[in-house]
Structure 1
């Protein structure tokens, strides 16, 4: 009898310690799955808690201990689908608004929960996995992939994730979602087509070797902290874009981003410090701002870079500090 079967049977008999040991192995991967479904780390954390509570309450209904992981995913997926019936889709401003004029004042922040939230790489499942597995997994949590998922219906989203990311059989997914196998296969084809139309590729993007990438990131940090706008802009693709949710603005192209830097981000007397981290499988930085005369720098944002080879294709500065508390960034930097 396997260890998992022993734990399942003990949990079904009411042993809560056995239950905690059993679900502990799946908590992180369930969090990633719910995040992909919902686009929100805070909502995903709530849904995982609900999933585990239901798994405890319904533990006696499981008839196949060896299918415990699949059973948990079935509960989590259905919880997410229920949540999505009343929750708005989450996007970035580049999906919801026209390009902004960098010389105009930014509009007020939109506080409604309509923006994607960042996900800390430290919470990805199996942090000890080999680099190839980590790279493949991070591909399925990038902001580009999350934005594409938001254009699918909730059921298409679930089918794509269950079939392509988790590699469940079509018959299993059909049973879970109370659909026929042909309906599952048809929805999967529509989801794949939608991702292709949005240029979300299945194959790995060209990624710089680690030493080269680190050299580029070190240069980026130095240029930002020196307020070297021409140097920063030179690292961008010509069609790069920059957005700052929850501000409903985004800026397209080197010229627009350079103007924004000059008019808003780098006024005289302001100092910046960037603290490296990783988000959504991408390089990221805690943004710390020190105004003239201040004693320390305040955490004001989380900047996620979309790398395309040796250039930066996108910059997303999340400004809602409460949405990235899980990154463990200190509130101030001296």
Structure 2
């Protein structure tokens, strides 16, 4: 292995994606990748070249994640609290809830792994015990055989196979009828995303109603709001969100391998727009299946957009 920090750093984006899947937090993932690179640098002379550098780094990263996850609670989306919000005026989130983060990026080198970054799957992974989570990710992301996974996790091949079986069964319970994946850069996904953005910017509740599927869901982090079904989502959006035109400015992007919108907001039409957050969409190619909104202005910058929306090219 070349003794250069730059070579280790070249793997950073995909290592962040791996650690994000494990932890559900971009900030934690970045810290864990830094620790991974430091450990790899210190042990570089012991690397014997019997496996690819990428595989070696993934092994280190996975063990760093497992250590970090000891004793920690899982990160959730509002629906994961188990108390769907029937009344939007009654918050369902506890003050100490650990919220799942979005991943506001779509590196080209992980395009083939977009399905393992979908928000619903990452949320589902958080329900698995860390070692089951690790076994599943090593198999699905690295395509490691059970013998190598056993070596990484310090266990036996039968234990790995049992962990994989349990992980898949649990994920099937959480999403028994998974949606067909629609690539975020497909014509169908972009059409739905553009319609969503137009409806928000013009406060066209009728257009948004047509766009929502009857069983669509709406979640908002960190408020804890979780609504299921168009009959609940539409009244809430009409009363609390789409109150008048020109209060939102949105731009298409990709997050977690899904179509997304970077959002700016202002309180009234004479005020300047300010970064507001990121909305992730799930679509079946014709309708919106889910909207998950993260009310964090920093995510607009993390997605590559400026503070001032008039500066967007």
Normalised TM-score (structure 1): 0.85
Q: 1:258 aligns with which of 225, 234, 238?
A: 234
Q: 2:281 aligns with which of 305, 314, 331?
A: 305
Q: Matches of 2:184 and 2:70 in 1, distance apart? A: 40
**Residue 211 of structure 1: aligned partner:** 187
- Is residue 38 of structure 2 the alignment partner of residue 62 of structure 1? no
**Residue 11 of structure 2: aligned partner:** 26
**Residue 14 of structure 1: aligned partner:** none
**Residue 242 of structure 1: aligned partner:** 218
Q: Matches of 1:118 and 1:193 in 2, distance apart? A: 25
**Residue 121 of structure 1: aligned partner:** 105
**Residue 229 of structure 1: aligned partner:** 205
Q: Matches of 1:107 and 1:114 in 2, distance apart? A: 15
- Is residue 44 of structure 2 the alignment partner of residue 37 of structure 1? no
Unpaired runs of 5+ residues, structure 1, are 12-18, 128-133
292-301 vs 166-175, which moves further: 292-301
**Residue 100 of structure 1: aligned partner:** 85
**Residue 73 of structure 1: aligned partner:** 58
Task: Report SS of the residue matched to 1:63.
Answer: coil
Task: Report SS of the residue matched to 1:267.
Answer: coil
Q: Quote how far apart the aligned CAs of 1:151 are.
A: 1.3
Task: Report SS of the residue matched to 2:109.
Answer: coil
Q: Quote how far apart the aligned CAs of 1:101 are.
A: 3.1
Which protein has the larger Cα radius of gyration, Structure 1 or Structure 2?
A: 1
**Residue 71 of structure 2: aligned partner:** 86
4+ residue segments displaced more than 6 Å: 200-203
**Residue 53 of structure 1: aligned partner:** 38
Q: Matches of 1:224 and 1:162 in 2, distance apart? A: 40
Q: Matches of 2:128 and 2:91 in 1, distance apart? A: 29
Q: Quote how far apart the aligned CAs of 1:270 are.
A: 6.2
298-307 vs 218-227, which moves further: 218-227
Measured at CA, do residues 67 and 222 of structure 1 come closer, stay the same or move farther in structure 2, by a change above 3 Å?
A: closer
Is the contact made by 2:202 and 2:246 (CA closer than 8 Å) also made in structure 1?
Answer: no
CA RMSD of aligned residues (A): 2.4
**Residue 124 of structure 2: aligned partner:** 148
